Amino acid sequence: MTQRFLIGQIRWLPLVLAFISVTGTFAQDEKQIAPVGRIYALTNVTVVPSPGKKIEKATVVIKDGLIQAVGTAVSIPTDAIIMKADSMYVYAGFIDGLSRTGVIKPKDEPNPQRPKDPGNPPADKAGITPQNDVRNSLNPTDKSVEELRNIGFTLAQVVPYGHFLPGTSAIVLLGGKSADEMVLVDQSGLYSELSGAQNVYPNTVMAVMAKWRELYRNASLTKSYQALYASNRSALTRPLNDRVEEAFYPVIDRKIPVVFKAEKILETQRVLTLKNDLGFSLTIGDLKEGYPMIDKVKTSGAKIFLSLDLPDEVKKNEKKSKNKNDSLKTAKTEKPKSAAELEKQGLEKRKNDAIVKYTGQAADFHKAGIVFGFSAMSAKTKDIQSNLRRMIAAGLPEEVALAALTTNPAKMLGLEDRLGTVENGKMANLVVSDKPYFNEKAKVRYVFVDGNLYKLDIKEPKKSNGSVVAKGNWSYTTETPNGTNNGKLTINDDNGTLSGTISNSTSGKGTEMKDVALDGNTLSFSFEYSMGGNTMKIDVSVKIDGDAFEGVMTPGKFGSFPMKGTRDPK
């Protein structure tokens, strides 16, 4: 059923793209300082060398890509660029355990032909390309690299696009000018997803699992025969060198793990089933729904990267109405609820409970004694900081959250000698924020990747002084690979409560906006787009400057598209 849903989404994408559109590009919020000498001294800074520790009013010296000195009595080299970081905080650069940051997405095949014999497709059509090295599809200038770095990430374990067995992962620095400069560790794991091919074998999860077992067992057999052959080649048939099988050899030798993406509870159980059947070392990434199976996950010994994606927060007003006094009041003043209302209320409660469970997963894993990292794979980068704060509010201790971003993944990826802490001799991967990182108002000011400085210009948001007016009629444009589109926004202001509709010029039909909010000069809202029985939520966030706005429209997981608009003349 999942498969069918996916196909549905893919068919739907061009239509979504047609609805929204793009013109112009983003203002770059960041400048890379030319790395002359590459000697820096951060002074008067609060250092968090490792989770739970703190050195105040310290100096950090960075030279040749390494941390040269950390402490309060550090002599600053005369040729260092001194960066006054008074009242700022410096942490080890964050590590993302699983994503496709900086990985080039292959173009979709236009009108893929239905194969002649769907049961015997070529290996690449079947999704069996474990020999692919993600290093061959890295792009250091991809926007995703900059975006993730801008919130403090300096390293990521990245995987190729595709399903089933798309290739090997690599651990890459989120900076550098070439793919080779980015790669810190190549072939860090064999990446796999339990999702099948379209229209060809293996199509269903059960066929993917069957094929997985067959490939692995055959690779084991060939590998031992190759060893036998190597020991004495006389009178033995030459073994064939099969690149697909060879890709399994380091897994069979337990030199690298199989890295599985598994968001949901059943996917996770299926991955554990394969691990039990075949005995490989396992890393699970992007886990969102592991909480009902914590004990099983723990005893499996798998390395875990929890997803940084979370479902939307429980709406505050819904929470309020669950307050006892309120419900008593409503009971007195309002007429009794209908069966339909009660049912809706029950459904709402179940959904909110699920949101709470998802948000509390990291805290639950910590309580169960599982050491975990985080993965950014399906998270929207702009939501990651607030999602971390939500996990902390749900009971995850701050120092554990920090460990999950730094020391834990460094250890899990075998890099603890080089990364994860702010210590002499470690690689200069650092993040500097103007307030403690988990503070709601914290902004990342500097990021060091491999000793290279990335400086973020912080535009102070204009204070809302009443001059920003969202109310009114606006025309917007967006542009997508499918062409330019435009439409209208109508925003009403009822004593500070905003509402409105969005329409596109093709259909002319208005869609109700949800969660309309004006924060400073940032107008945000979302709306739902229905097509073929599916509904997609599209988020919009734009900055209003007088009678114009600029920002982004984010349809589900299909990336973000710039959006521009002007106020209609009265």
Partner 1 sequence: MKNLKLIAACLFLYGVAQAQDKGNLLIKNGTVLTVTKGTLPETDVLVKDGKITQIAKNITAPQGVKTIDAKGLFVMPGIIDAHSHIALDAINEMTSPVTAEVAEADVVNPFQINIYRALGGGVTTIHSLHGSANAIGGQCVVLKLRYGTFDMNAMKMEGVPRTIKFALGENPTRVHGGGSNIVPRTRMGVEFVIRKSFSDAKKYMEEWDAYNKNKLVKGFRGASPVYNLRLETLAEILKGNIIIHCHSYRADEIFMLLKVCKDFGIKKITFQHANEGYKVAPELAAYGAMASVFSDWWAYKFEVYYSTAYNAAILTKNGVVTSINSDDAEMMRHLYHEAGKTQKYGGLSDEEALALITINPAKQLGVESRIGSLEVGKDADIAIFKNHPLSIYGVPQYTIVDGIVRFDRANDPADMRLMVDPKQNLEEATLSEKGVDRCMEGTEFLFTNDKN
The residue type at 277 = D
Q: What span, in angstroms and rounded, lies between the C-alpha atoms of 415 and 184? A: 10
> Is residue 469 close enough to count as binding partner 1 by CB under 8 A?
no
Helix ranges, 232-338 (H): 243-252, 265-278, 294-300, 316-321, 324-333
Q: Considering the rule CB under 8 A, would residue 342 count as an interface residue with partner 1?
A: yes
- Contacts (CB under 8 A) with partner 1, residues 159-188: none
CA angle 50, 54, 55 (to 5 degrees): 120
Helix (DSSP H) and strand (DSSP E) numbers for the chain: 14, 26
Looking at the Cβ atoms of 74 and 355, the one nearer to partner 1 is: 355
Among 9, 44, 218, 378, binds partner 1 (CB under 8 A): 218
Question: Is residue 349 part of the contact set for partner 1 (CB under 8 A)?
Answer: yes
Pick the binder of partner 1 from 10, 82, 123, 221 (CB under 8 A): 221
Q: Does 393 bind partner 1 (CB under 8 A)?
A: no
Q: Which stretch binds partner 1 (CB under 8 A): 87-95, 278-286, 344-352, 367-375?
A: 344-352
Nearer to partner 1 (CB atom), residue 8 or residue 106: 8
**What residues does 28 pair with on adjacent strands?**
none
Site string for partner 1, 549-568 (x = CB under 8 A): --------------------
The identity of residue 397, as a single letter, is: P
What is the size of the binding site for partner 1 (CB under 8 A)?
65
Compute the residue count for the chain.
570
Q: Which of 58, 62, 60, 59 is nearest to 35 (CA)?
A: 62
Name the token pair of 545.
């400057």
Whether the CB-CB separation of 477 and 21 falls below 8 Å is answered with: yes
The region of 41-49, 71-79, 342-350, 458-466 touching partner 1 under the rule CB under 8 A is 342-350
378 is a site residue for partner 1 (CB under 8 A): no
Q: Are 544 and 517 in contact (CB under 8 A)?
A: no
**Closer Cβ to partner 1, 87 or 327, answer by number:** 327
Number of Cα atoms under 13 Å in the Cβ half of residue 12: 18
**Interface with partner 1 (CB under 8 A), residue from 74, 76, 266, 392:** 266
Residues numbered 489 to 548 that lie near partner 1 (CB under 8 A) are 528, 535
Q: CA dihedral defined by 149, 381, 46, 365, rounded to 10 degrees?
A: -120
d(CA 182, CA 170): 10
d(CA 301, CA 195): 23
**Looking at 74, 143, 225, 482, which residue binds partner 1 (CB under 8 A)?**
225
CA 80 – CA 75 distance, rounded (Å): 11
Q: Is residue 228 near partner 1 by the rule CB under 8 A?
A: yes
Question: Rounded to the nearest whole angstrom, what is the least distance from the CB of residue 341 to partner 1 in the complex?
Answer: 11
Q: Minimum distance from CB of 296 to partner 1 (Å)?
A: 7
Q: Does 289 bind partner 1 (CB under 8 A)?
A: yes
In whole angstroms, the minimum distance from the beta carbon of 217 to partner 1 comes to 5
CB of 203 to partner 1, least distance (A): 5
Binding characters for partner 1, 299-328, by CB under 8 A (x = yes) = ------------xx--------------x-
Beta bridge partners of 67: 62
β pairing state of 89-92 and 39-48: parallel
- Dist. CA 537–CA 539, nearest whole Å: 7
Does 382 contact partner 1 by CB under 8 A?
no
From candidates 239, 436, 510, 520, binder to partner 1 by CB under 8 A: 239
Q: What are phi and psi of 332, to 5 degrees?
A: -75, -45
**Shortest spacing between CB 189 and partner 1, in angstroms:** 22
Nearer of residues 343 and 545 to partner 1, judged by Cβ: 343
Q: Which is nearer to partner 1, 114 or 335 (CB)?
A: 114
Task: Specify the residue, 66 or 249, whose C-beta has the smaller distance to partner 1.
Answer: 249
Please, which of residues 268-287 interact with partner 1 by CB under 8 A?
A: 269-270, 273
DSSP labels for 132-166? -BGGGGB-TT-HHHHHHHTTTEEEEEE--S-SSB-
Distances (CA, A) of 297 to 122, 300, 366: 35, 5, 13
Hey, what are 470's tokens? Answer: 């969202």
User: DSSP readout, 337-356?
Assistant: PPHHHHHHHHHHHHHHHHHH
Q: Which of these segments, 81-89, 110-118, 447-455, 464-472, binds partner 1 (CB under 8 A)? A: 110-118
Return the SS3 of 513.
coil
Give the residue, chosen from 11, 53, 177, 217, that forms a contact with partner 1 under the rule CB under 8 A: 217
Cβ 121 vs Cβ 200: under 8 Å: yes
Residue list 194-213, contact with partner 1 (CB under 8 A): 199-207, 209-211, 213
Smallest distance, partner 1 to C-beta of residue 308, A: 15
Among 36, 79, 110, 114, binds partner 1 (CB under 8 A): 114
339, two tokens: 């069966």
Please report, for residues 478, 485, 500, 506, the alpha-carbon distance to residue 23 in angstroms, rounded to integers and kept in the order given. 6, 10, 23, 18
Q: Quote the least distance from Cβ 387 to partner 1, whole Å.
A: 13
**CA–CA separation, 268 and 361 (whole Å):** 14
Q: What does the alpha-carbon distance between residue 99 and residue 375 come to, in Å, rounded to a whole number? A: 6
55, 74, 293, 394: which one binds partner 1 (CB under 8 A): 293
- State the binding string over 81-100 for partner 1 (x if CB under 8 A, else -): --------------------
Q: Taking CB under 8 A as the rule, does residue 77 contact partner 1?
A: no
Residues that bind partner 1 (CB under 8 A): 1-4, 111, 113-114, 116-120, 199-207, 209-211, 213-214, 217-218, 221, 225, 228, 232, 235-237, 239, 265-266, 269-270, 273, 289, 292-293, 296, 311-312, 327, 342-351, 353-355, 357-358, 528, 535
